[in-house]
Amino acid sequence: MTMKKKKSIFLVVVLAVLLAACLTVDALLPGYHIAVTVIKKATVYALVAVSMNLLNGFTGLFSLGQAGFMLLGAYAYGVLTIPVAKRASVYQYFDGGSIQFSLPESCAGILGDAVGPTVGMLAALLVGGVLAALMAYLIGLPVLRLKSDYLAIATLGFAEILRAFFQWNALGPITNGSNLLKSYPTFTHATPYVLLSGGMIAIIVLLINSTYGRAFKAIRDDEVAAEAMGINLARHKRLAFVISSFFAGIGGGMMAMYMGTIAAAPFKSAMTYEILLIVVIGGIGSITGSILASFLYIFSSEWLLRGLDSGTFLGISAPSLFKNGFRMAAFSVIIMAIVLFFRKGIMGDRELPDLLDRRGRKHKKEAAEK
């Protein structure tokens, strides 16, 4: 059996085990359990981290606008899926939502739980992704002429402007201004989040392994050499930016599902920094690293270290030490340790099947030495 087939079988087995574990968790635990909550949030962060890695790690474009594209996806999902019967209560400060977004009743609830003539859940996620991609194309025309830190500052500024724009009361009939969007359908269990995020990440992996992905890597490694080989730099940079934003928009819609309510305030620069931190911890240029780091980050911050803010941790009661804010201090120390001992992140630029290949080469070397 060739190594490529072994890698494929290994990957399928790992994914099947993870899916079975997720189904078991959903079967045994209620939707509000902390384990289910961690899985939901981690899968959302994994998708957004992989989308950022596509741009930063595989194309070499340093963008910090991910939170802005997530904001677009979140609001698109919320606005399109709020049932018509509940719009009056949600938009109570804006004439009950005088602007309606609905399709014929035959299109209602496309593979989702939307009530009334509203766009279904999956369709709304895709609309959010397309909206984010369209916005990325428009701002990418001038912004992608910049490089390095200048590109990061420009995209970060775009995200902050967009967040303030969505809180503008003049857009109230659509975005509900600074008030919450709520009463839209969500998934109770974690399995739908895992399937959605896994499907989107699989598409990104296929893209990276295609000719477009090789062109992105060539641009990352050496723009001059890539252009000499006939790669259109402007076109491929714009393509990577648009694709990354599309999946960030879908991630934003899934974040709206997870949170249960939507407001522009949480989608600030700190969210982008969290995602960037996950990419760095996992390994710039590693899809597997981004996924692993997402789960480790959310598990540690939302569950494992939560006791450090409540006075008791691992059975040790120390209210004077374990108080509000200590959790983030301890988490910062852990991150510093990871950066010190794993300079290229947990996975570096490797993927999970590569570990199998490395172990196989090690065994062959040991056998040859004997």
Residue 83 has pLDDT above 80, yes or no: yes
Q: What is the residue extent of each domain of the chain?
A: 1-30, 33-266
Listed range (122-131, 133-142, 302-311) with the worst mean pLDDT? 302-311
Query: Sorting pLDDT into bands at 50, 70 and 90, what band is 108?
Result: very low
Q: What is the pLDDT of residues 269-321, one digit of tens each?
A: 889 999 998 999 998 889 999 999 999 989 888 877 766 666 665 556 656 55
Q: Does the model's pTM come out above 0.95? A: no
What is the average pLDDT across 120-128? 90
Pair 162, 71: CB distance under 8 Å: yes
Query: What integer best gives the mean pLDDT of the chain?
Result: 83
